[in-house]
Amino acid sequence: MKDYLFGIAIFLGLLVLIGNVALKQMGRVNVARETLDDARIQLRSSESSRSSKNIQLMAQFGNSDVTRFMRDNGATLQSMKEIGSINQRVGSESEALRIPIQEQKTEIRAMKGRQGTTVEKVSMHQYSITILSTFRDSLVWMGKMEDAFPFARIESISFTPSGDYVNLQTRILFPNLDQTILSQ
């Protein structure tokens, strides 16, 4: 009889251990389910917010205008979203023209939005760069920057003579536009 008691005790211990593991797993599943439900609710609210912004834009500008703007400028807006892609494009344009970049730095800035719009502040990347080249090549480089980034604004330009070359210092502002407002 003592042999059976020992076997029964081991069997009951295993049952308790398996039950404990099953309860912990059920708790993890419940937590994961609650997290998933919260994410679904958040997604629905962000989708409804985006659709209401799109409705406002469509009422203000008309659906065809917004669609045409995004079709024509969507890639440019996406390329200006991160400063890394701006750095890459500026570097490739400078290398193509064989213009050495002397110095470059970036900062985040916020500018006041236009009156009559719901945008209070526009986030901007301020890009300061110094190049050394001939006057002609520096003008060509500035034109390439304007072509590559049509929504960027040149804030200041300074030419300083340096022998046969000029030292160009410029600050360019790149707006960080919220595409969720503009997209459909």
Q: Pull the structure tokens for residue 37.
A: 């439900």
Residue 5 confidence (pLDDT) above 90? no
More confident residue, 27 or 111: 27
pLDDT digits (tens, 9 = 90+) for 51-105: 777 677 666 666 676 667 767 766 666 656 666 777 777 777 777 777 777 666 6
As a whole number, mean pLDDT of residues 33-43 equals 87
How many C-alpha atoms does 148 have within 13 Å on its Cβ side? Answer: 21
Residue 18 confidence (pLDDT) above 90? yes
- Please, what is the Cα angle at 31 between 26 and 35, to 5 degrees? 145
Look-up of token digits 């039950």 = 19
Residue type, 22: A
Residue 17 confidence (pLDDT) above 90? yes
From CA 130, how far away is CA 100, in angstroms rounded?
9
pLDDT band for 20, please (50, 70, 90 cuts): very high
pLDDT band for 184, please (50, 70, 90 cuts): very low
More confident residue, 60 or 172: 172
